[in-house]
């Protein structure tokens, strides 16, 4: 009941927030004491009182606050400085625990003259915490520092100060949550129903980029291998397996199934992140030969509809230290991961020795040998003295979703979104709270989003069927990632239309102003279908190159510069067989009606032939022109001749190809491939054929 009342109160103060300027403390000048934990982290230290409120308007005990060591008797103090000096009408003190113990507030001029700004003669307020707006007559001198004197007898028990600020305004400062803008009034989260959720816990959903498979972790279910096997070693009270549901043709999720061995075994199992093609799962822990685990990450690949044994992902200087988990209410070594769509970047939620507090967010970069570098902390914009975790990196490789109890929110831990601003991976936009429809007064986390960016799936216990359930919610612009396209492509023999596999040296690189960039999306190959898969960000151009012995090279442009919507693109690249005597029709060669003028859309086809001849200087070809039987026969022969000559001139126009390497022949209507009895048949008869006569 207390949580619900608090939640309503938070909404009220958010909607009544003011925007007057408050200067927040930027440096600790002196302090009498601070609470220091066993790992000497910044938790509860004086620096936590700097900057804007960390968790307010939530009134909760938080490691993101200064906690003096005294509690019942005596005094403590903290003196903080500001970046500029102003005349003060208001001192803002964020007291998250046991308010009312601030006995006196002193101000200091730039010359360090001490001025008593306020002396407290009021009894301690009957509330667990507050934002205390101390309104005073405007100071005659400008103030550059403030000292709070804590008199513990005024309010006994532990004290926590979240923030200290000064203002030249008498309008009371009201803290707010940095909530997403323009949340739709009809926004609702939808429980995925009994095919996914049960009276047992369902957490950590993981949707494949194409949105067709949903993996999740199911807790303590009787069909979990850890329970069925009878080998449960009671490592903890929670026993978990990986489950999966497939999206049916009518758009509903099918009844979830346990993925089985080898991903699941008598230990605790969980899927952490997924590859761009949906064929590889990154699973928690390293699978040892004796069936046990050690902390880390492994990768399993689906081949012939069966999962291979997960293989370790090597991470330099990997650490997974114990920390206190507020959700589990115990010390734990929970680790969480998210892989970028190109697998170049690995985001981790870990407790390491250089942490800002408990669990922080880190990034590792992929090496040439498929290992990953020593984790780099993502910085103080995202990480706090609290817990940050359950990361999800959207397909654009820039939009990061995570949960935290160290930023202003609505509950125990909320889900936030931030955008990477450069390639340092430490420069991020201010985290945005996803709002009270997605975030509840309870613990919320583990968000996952398909490449379409249409819906998000996440775990929550509010309005669940039993324990934690999986929900989905329609994303709105303020919290959507950048739009991407799923790109599937194949290579075929231009003459026989047979799928070519394997094709070697397949590369996609971002192209800008005809200059190749280093940005190269990872391309995955599906052996079962002979299809290559990747994710491309819209608004860019990409160059596709490929090579296969016995065929001409592919060098094609995929132009998404004007694309503004999510699409699942499919393309077939036709490769030219490099065999003397090989003949084929130039299918994409088009002319203006009745003329020998080559249309612009034909240039890509002709450029392939031109590059082929440049790469093979001994190559000679024959171009043969054909028409249907409509109209004057001699005019048709002349039209066919003019067209093949136009093609020859196009190929030789830059002077790099000797015209003697290209022979031409006009047949007019004399060699139809079909009888000229229909327009469709006549269209096939109007063609230019290409034959390799020498290699």
Within this chain, do residues 598 and 452 fall inside the same structural domain, yes or no? no
Q: What is the CATH number of the domain that holds 113?
A: 2.60.120.260
Q: What is the CATH number of the domain that holds 632?
A: 3.30.1330.60
Would 670 be classed as within a structural domain?
yes
> What pLDDT does residue 189 have?
93
Please count the helices (runs of H) and the strands (runs of E) in the chain. Answer: 5, 44
Cβ atoms of 353 and 319 closer than 8 Å = yes
Within this chain, do residues 150 and 206 fall inside the same structural domain, yes or no? no
> What pLDDT does residue 227 have?
66
How far apart, in whole angstroms, are the C-alpha atoms of residue 493 and residue 40? 64
Would 175 be classed as within a structural domain?
no
In Å, how far are 144, 227, 244, 315 from 241, measured between CA atoms? 57, 10, 10, 24
Question: How many alpha carbons fall within 13 Å on the CB side of residue 116?
Answer: 6
Peptide bond into 502 cis (omega under 30): yes
Name the DSSP class of 493: E
Name the domain boundary from 167, 182, 210: 167
Within this chain, do residues 270 and 398 fall inside the same structural domain, yes or no? yes
How far apart, in whole angstroms, are the C-alpha atoms of residue 264 and residue 259? 7
Would 182 be classed as within a structural domain?
no
Within this chain, do residues 374 and 508 fall inside the same structural domain, yes or no? no
Bridge partners for 490 per DSSP: 572
Cβ atoms of 6 and 56 closer than 8 Å = no
Within this chain, do residues 475 and 488 fall inside the same structural domain, yes or no? no
Contacts of 679 (CB under 8 A, 6+ apart): none
Q: Is 582 exposed, middle or buried (0-12, 13-18, 19+ CB in 10 A)?
A: middle
For the chain, how many residues are written? Answer: 695
Residue at token pair 């734990």: 332
Q: Which of 431, 404, 436 shows the shortest CA–CA distance to 14?
A: 436
Name the DSSP class of 90: E
- The three-state secondary structure class of 127 is coil
**Phi/psi-derived region of residue 115, left when phi > 0, alpha when psi is between -120 and 50, beta in every other case:** beta
How far apart, in whole angstroms, are the C-alpha atoms of residue 42 and residue 35? 9
Cβ atoms of 615 and 552 closer than 8 Å = yes
**What's CA 135's distance to the chain center, in Å?**
44
Contacts of 309 (CB under 8 A, 6+ apart): 262, 287, 300
Would 183 be classed as within a structural domain?
no
Would 173 be classed as within a structural domain?
no
Would 185 be classed as within a structural domain?
no
SS3 content of the chain, % helix, strand, coil (to 5): 10, 40, 50
Within this chain, do residues 14 and 64 fall inside the same structural domain, yes or no? yes
**Phi/psi-derived region of residue 217, left when phi > 0, alpha when psi is between -120 and 50, beta in every other case:** beta
Within this chain, do residues 509 and 469 fall inside the same structural domain, yes or no? no
Q: What is the CATH number of the domain that holds 527?
A: 2.60.40.3570
**Phi/psi-derived region of residue 438, left when phi > 0, alpha when psi is between -120 and 50, beta in every other case:** alpha
Name the domain boundary from 575, 609, 643: 575
What is the block-wise mean pLDDT of the chain (695 residues), using blocks of 10 residues?
39 42 97 90 95 94 95 93 97 96 97 96 91 97 98 93 97 96 95 93 93 94 75 60 95 95 90 89 89 89 91 94 75 89 92 91 96 97 96 95 96 94 95 95 92 93 80 96 93 87 81 53 82 90 85 83 90 86 86 91 88 90 94 93 95 94 95 91 90 91
How far apart, in whole angstroms, are the C-alpha atoms of residue 52 and residue 100? 20
Cβ atoms of 202 and 468 closer than 8 Å = yes
How far apart, in whole angstroms, are the C-alpha atoms of residue 695 and residue 683? 31
Would 200 be classed as within a structural domain?
yes
Cβ atoms of 173 and 131 closer than 8 Å = yes
Name the domain boundary from 509, 541, 575: 575
- The three-state secondary structure class of 39 is coil
548: enclosing H helix or E strand: none
> What pLDDT does residue 505 have?
81
Contacts of 387 (CB under 8 A, 6+ apart): 323, 325, 326, 357, 358, 359, 404, 405, 406, 413
Strand ranges (E), 109-152: 114-119, 130-135, 143-151
Within this chain, do residues 470 and 543 fall inside the same structural domain, yes or no? no
Within this chain, do residues 623 and 690 fall inside the same structural domain, yes or no? yes
Within this chain, do residues 289 and 435 fall inside the same structural domain, yes or no? yes
Question: How many alpha carbons fall within 13 Å on the CB side of residue 665?
Answer: 12
Q: What is the CATH number of the domain that holds 306?
A: 2.115.10.20
Cβ atoms of 66 and 46 closer than 8 Å = yes
Number of domains in the chain: 4
Within this chain, do residues 513 and 588 fall inside the same structural domain, yes or no? no
- The three-state secondary structure class of 387 is coil
In Å, how far are 78, 211, 431, 446 from 206, measured between CA atoms? 46, 10, 22, 8
Would 435 be classed as within a structural domain?
yes
How far apart, in whole angstroms, are the C-alpha atoms of residue 444 and residue 205? 12
The vertex-378 CA angle with 377 and 383, nearest 5°, equals: 95
Residue at token pair 């003019």: 642
Query: What would the two tokens of residue 541 be?
Result: 């151009």
Contacts of 62 (CB under 8 A, 6+ apart): 54, 55, 96, 160, 162, 385, 386, 405, 406
347: enclosing H helix or E strand: strand 345-350
164: enclosing H helix or E strand: strand 160-167
| Residue 321 belongs to domain spanning | 190-479
Strand ranges (E), 483-593: 484-493, 504-512, 515-516, 524-526, 531-537, 541-547, 554-559, 567-575, 583-585
Bridge partners for 281 per DSSP: 274, 300
Within this chain, do residues 311 and 220 fall inside the same structural domain, yes or no? yes
Peptide bond into 57 cis (omega under 30): yes
């Amino acid at each position: 009941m207390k949580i619900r009342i608090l939640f309503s109160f938070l909404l009220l103060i958010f909607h009544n927030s003011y925007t007057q300027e408050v200067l927040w403390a930027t440096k600790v000048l002196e302090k009498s004491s601070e609470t220091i934990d066993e790992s000497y982290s910044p938790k509860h230290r004086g620096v936590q009182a700097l900057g804007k409120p960390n968790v307010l308007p939530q009134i909760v005990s938080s490691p993101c606050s200064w906690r003096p060591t005294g509690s019942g008797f005596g005094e403590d103090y903290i003196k903080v400085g500001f970046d500029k000096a102003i005349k003060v009408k208001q001192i803002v003190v964020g007291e998250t625990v046991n308010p009312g113990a601030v006995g006196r507030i002193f101000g200091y001029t730039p010359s360090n003259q001490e001025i008593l700004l306020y002396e407290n003669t009021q009894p301690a307020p009957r509330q667990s915490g507050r934002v205390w707006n101390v309104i005073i007559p405007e100071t005659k001198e400008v103030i550059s520092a403030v000292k709070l004197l804590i008199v513990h007898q005024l309010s006994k028990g532990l004290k926590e100060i979240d923030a200290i600020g000064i203002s030249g305004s008498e309008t009371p400062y009201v803290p707010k949550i940095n909530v997403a803008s323009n949340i739709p009034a009809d926004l609702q989260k939808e429980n995925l129903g009994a095919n996914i959720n049960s009276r047992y816990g369902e957490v950590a959903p993981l949707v494949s980029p194409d949105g067709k498979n949903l993996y999740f972790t199911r807790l303590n279910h009787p069909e979990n291998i850890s329970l069925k096997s009878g080998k449960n070693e009671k490592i903890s009270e929670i026993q978990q397996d990986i489950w999966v549901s497939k999206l049916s043709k009518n758009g509903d999720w099918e009844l979830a199934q346990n993925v089985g061995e080898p991903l699941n075994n008598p230990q605790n199992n969980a899927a952490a992140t997924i590859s761009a093609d949906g064929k590889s799962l990154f699973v928690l822990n390293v699978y040892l030969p004796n069936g046990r685990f050690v902390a880390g990450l492994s990768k399993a690949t689906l081949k012939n509809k069966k999962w291979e044994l997960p293989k370790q992902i090597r991470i330099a200087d990997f650490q997974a230290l114990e920390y206190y988990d507020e959700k589990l209410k115990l010390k734990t070594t929970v680790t969480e991961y998210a892989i970028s769509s190109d697998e170049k970047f690995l985001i981790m939620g870990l407790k390491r020795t250089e942490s800002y507090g408990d669990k922080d967010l880190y990034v590792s970069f992929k090496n040439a040998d498929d290992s990953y570098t020593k984790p780099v902390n993502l910085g103080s914009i995202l990480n706090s003295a609290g817990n940050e975790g359950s990361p999800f990196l959207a397909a654009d490789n820039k939009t990061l979703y995570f949960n935290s109890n160290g930023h202003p929110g609505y509950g125990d831990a909320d889900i936030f979104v931030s955008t990477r601003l450069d390639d340092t991976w430490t420069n991020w936009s201010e985290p945005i709270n996803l709002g009270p429809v997605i975030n509840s007064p309870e613990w919320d986390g583990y968000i996952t989003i398909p490449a379409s960016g249409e819906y998000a799936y996440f775990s929550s216990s509010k309005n669940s069927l039993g324990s934690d359930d999986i929900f989905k919610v329609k994303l709105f612009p303020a919290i959507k990632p950048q739009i991407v396209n799923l790109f599937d492509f194949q290579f075929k023999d231009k003459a026989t239309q047979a799928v070519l596999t394997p094709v070697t040296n397949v590369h996609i690189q971002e192209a800008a102003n005809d200059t190749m960039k280093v940005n190269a999306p990872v391309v995955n190959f599906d052996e079962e279908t002979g299809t290559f898969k990747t994710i491309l960000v819209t608004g860019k151009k990409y160059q596709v190159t490929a090579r296969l012995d016995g065929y001409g090279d592919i060098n094609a442009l995929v132009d998404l510069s004007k694309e503004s919507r999510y699409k699942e693109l499919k393309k077939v690249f036709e490769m030219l067989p490099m065999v003397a005597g090989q003949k084929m029709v130039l299918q994409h060669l088009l002319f203006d009606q009745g003329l020998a003028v080559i249309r612009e859309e034909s240039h890509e086809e002709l450029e392939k032939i031109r590059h082929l001849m440049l790469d093979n200087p001994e190559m000679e070809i024959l171009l043969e022109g054909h028409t249907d039987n409509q109209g004057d026969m001699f005019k048709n022969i002349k039209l066919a001749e003019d067209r093949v000559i136009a093609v020859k001139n196009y190929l030789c126009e830059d002077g790099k190809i000797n015209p003697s390497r290209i022979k031409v022949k006009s047949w007019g209507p004399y060699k139809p491939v079909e009888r000229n009895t229909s327009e469709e048949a006549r269209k096939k008869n109007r063609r230019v054929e290409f034959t390799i006569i020498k290699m």
